[in-house]
Amino acid sequence: MADDEKRNLRMGHYKKSGREGESSQGMGSYRDVAGRMKEVARQQSMATSNMMKIRYKIVIMSSKGGVGKSLVTSSLSAAIASMGRSVGVLDADFHGPSIHKMLGVPTGYGMLARIDGTVDPVVTSIGVKIASIGLLIPKDDVALIWRGPIKASAIRELLAYVNWGPLDYILVDLPPGTGDESLTIVQSIPRVSGLILVTIPSEVSKSVVKKAIAFASKLKTPIIGIIENMSYYRCPHGEVIHIFGKGAAEDLAREYNIPFLGAIPLDPRIRECNDEGKIFFLEYPDSEAAVVFREIAKRVIDIVENGKAVIPEIRED
């Protein structure tokens, strides 16, 4: 067996074609169904046991792609770790995993398998632990063509078989939207501390984020706050330019009585660091964006550790 297969997070059946993968999920005989249900229950029990070793569980989501959610997750993990907390990151964005690269770990690096079938997350240079599909696929251009049940099963396996150990925080990075992955994560992790919603200052993004707020309300999941990314650009002469609009995220926060965590400015060096696998927060600690990240991390820690996250109330008209 090749090394990359040995590192494969019990996910050999996901390497099949879409048709084969779907047939393996079919109902089959009663015995097959009963066996599968028993395995799902066992995985959920293991996932619960794993997650209960972690004090605070934060889920980071956006209802719209392209708002920089993974950048926020990676930077926030580094900022929280710099404040003396032990941190893990679970990248649940199967179709666009990128956090491992942002934290300096190459695609296909793998996760070390144990004899009992569990695996260890990768520990980055700053001590943040990572588990990601991006560590298991051989290269970046591999497309995972999975239907919802396959992704739900993969999430359960990541939660069940990754040995996080005791941690202060785990940050779970979701794909855009409020679909299968978001629902599976929130329902599978016990005692979620809250959601962080990432948006940009545009009216279109504002209207879409309302879906995430409704998602939290229906699932009775607290919201830690809203982060506005790409909020503005400060030119070399000091002028502030609001490229995508102004104030949409703060308006949302006021409308739903949700904490506004901060506004992250545009900085071309962020893109450069992401491409090079460097952590912007550490490379440019005195930059305006890095200062904002630190302030956001402080607010998140205060809200989470003091139980200030709120479940939004949405009136049914």
The answer to whether position 316 is within a domain reads no
Helix (H, G, I), strand (E, B) or coil at 265: coil
The answer to whether position 313 is within a domain reads no
The answer to whether position 314 is within a domain reads no
The answer to whether position 180 is within a domain reads yes
CA dihedral 166, 171, 177, 178 (to 10 degrees): 40
The answer to whether position 312 is within a domain reads no
The answer to whether position 223 is within a domain reads yes
Residue type, 135: L
The answer to whether position 187 is within a domain reads yes
Q: Give me the tens of pLDDT residue by residue for the chain, a chain 317 residues long.
A: 344 433 444 443 333 333 334 434 444 565 676 767 777 788 888 888 999 999 999 999 987 788 889 999 999 999 999 999 999 999 998 888 889 999 999 888 888 888 788 899 999 999 999 999 888 888 888 888 888 888 888 898 999 999 999 999 999 999 888 888 899 999 999 999 999 999 999 888 888 899 999 999 999 999 999 999 999 999 888 898 998 888 889 999 999 999 999 999 999 998 899 888 888 888 999 999 999 999 999 999 999 999 999 999 887 65
Bridge partners, residue 113, by sequence: 119
Helix (H, G, I), strand (E, B) or coil at 64: coil
- Tally of domains within the chain: 1
Neighbours of 192 (CB within 10 A): 21
pLDDT digits (tens, 9 = 90+) for 36-51: 777 778 888 888 899 9
Domain that holds residue 100: 3-305
- Shortest CA distance to 221 belongs to which of 59, 54, 88, 55? 59
The CATH number of residue 157's host domain is 3.40.50.300
The answer to whether position 54 is within a domain reads yes
